[in-house]
Amino acid sequence: MFDISKFNDKEVKQSHSFVLFEQGPPYCMLGWEKYRLFNADINDCLNNIKREFDVKVYVYEHEVINIENFFLWGFSFFQENAIKRDELSEILILRLTNIFKRYFLFGGDILINNHREGFNNIFAPDLMMVYVGLVESFELDVNLKYAPPKIKTYQKEDFELSVFEQPVTVSEFKGIIKDYIEMKSSEDLIYRFSSNGYFSNKYRCNKYLREEFIPLFQFVKARGVSEDAYIKLGIQSENYDAKITDNENELIIEVTSGAPKNDFSYFIATRNNGISVLPLKVLAHLKREIDSLAERIILSINKKHDKNYDDERTLLVTVPLEYTYQNEAIVIDEVLKEVKSSVQVRKFKEIVLMFDSKLYSL
């Protein structure tokens, strides 16, 4: 049962200021080049607040899933003294407002604060539920360091890499992968969310499965590759990740990840919380990762260019859907636009970005 008294005790020590974006997140509205300037100004402002007042302000964004293209940006800090809390809130709002006015056209007040009069009447019920979650979770500690247990914490048998020592048909390959990743039992569920299971690189088989085999599984399905074609997986014995042979046609595939640098931290932070309701500090971490997404994709592609492969191959770049809000079209379009403007196909036959199971050729 919700305890309003405990909630009020928490809320009085917190300041939350919000900006509502009704046409998508700022990087979609500004484009990545201008967004980087805007974001740098925001971060400079928050760093100055930290230096002047010794208060850390967390900045984050949240997708309002029941309203198309509606995103919420929040700026939150903790201050036990109510007078100091309100004084600093006004300073923060003034400085942020000046930044927002340089980049956006807003009518009326840009930021709304939880301790200003009328706040409860501004937020719709769905947004108020988000706000309640932010208040409740603000003081939760979030450990983003990965220290996998030495002993396996799941019972599911590890994926047997030896099944791919020899070429298999695409039909056989799809059947093997599908059979292993289907959620058919509690063992499958525990494996998926275990700290040293599916999302962990502790065991070689999990790394191959997640980073190469499943992306290839999705690729051959999306491209409609013949069931009778043969696929040979490299698995360190070859200088490619996969080779597909269909009669006399041959397709060599190189797989790489377009994930943010601290990608695994996201799964550590959300393992015990799921992905629907995230603590405030996790949202702040996630925003930093999203801000780096296009840059990391470009970096991954350029690193593969530097390999100077002798043959003609397709580069498959996998992008975790967690950083595109379950593949929101406006977010994907903006990422694609930035990547296309910054990389060339060069020696690759084709560069394909994979967002979950959707493919986009550069």
| 236 and 314 in a common domain | yes
CA distance to 233, 234, 244, per residue, from 170 (Å): 11, 15, 8
Q: Judge if 50 and 130 occupy the same domain.
A: yes
188 burial (CB, 10 Å; 0-12 / 13-18 / 19+) is middle
Residue 315: what pLDDT?
95
Same domain assignment for residues 291 and 227: yes
Same domain, 126 and 169: no
Structure tokens at 309: 């492969």
Whether residue 224 is found in the same domain as residue 303:
yes
Q: Are residues 218 and 76 part of one domain?
A: no
State how many domains the chain has: 2
Q: 118 and 212 in one domain?
A: no
Tokens describing residue 98 = 């000046």
Question: What's the Cα-to-Cα distance from 122 to each of 20, 43, 64, 115, rounded to whole Å?
Answer: 11, 27, 15, 12
Q: What is the pLDDT of residue 232?
A: 96
Is residue 76 in a domain? yes
Express each pLDDT in 1-48 by its tens digit: 667 888 899 999 999 999 999 888 999 999 998 999 999 999 999 999
Reduce the DSSP state of residue 74 to 3 states and report it.
strand
Cα separation of 180 and 195, whole Å? Answer: 19
How far apart, in whole angstroms, are the C-alpha atoms of residue 148 and residue 201? 9
Q: Write 336-340 long-range contacts (CB < 8 A, 24+).
A: 336/360, 336/362, 337/31, 337/32, 338/31, 338/32, 338/33, 338/294, 338/298, 339/294, 339/297, 339/298, 339/301
Measured from the Cβ of residue 357, the count of other Cβ atoms closer than 10 Å reads 14
What's the confidence (pLDDT) of residue 274? 46
Helix-helix angle 4-11:125-137, to 10 degrees: 70
**Beta-strand (E) ranges in 152-235?**
168-169, 230-233
Question: pLDDT at position 275, please?
Answer: 43
| Ranges of residues in the chain whose predicted pLDDT is under 50 | 274-275
Q: Please check whether residues 284 and 330 belong to one and the same domain.
A: yes
Could you read off the pLDDT of 112-145 as tens digits, one per residue?
Answer: 999 988 787 777 777 888 889 899 989 887 777 7
**Structure pTM?**
0.87
Residue 152 belongs to some domain of the structure: no
Shared-domain flag, residues 100 and 54: yes
pLDDT of the residue at 273: 52
Alpha-carbon span 155 to 226, nearest angstrom: 35
Structure confidence at residue 354 (pLDDT) = 94
Question: Could you tell me the residue range of the domain that residue 194 belongs to?
Answer: 161-263+277-361
pLDDT at 192: 87
188 shares a domain with 101: no
- Here the CATH number for the domain that contains residue 49 is 3.30.70.1130
pLDDT at 106: 79
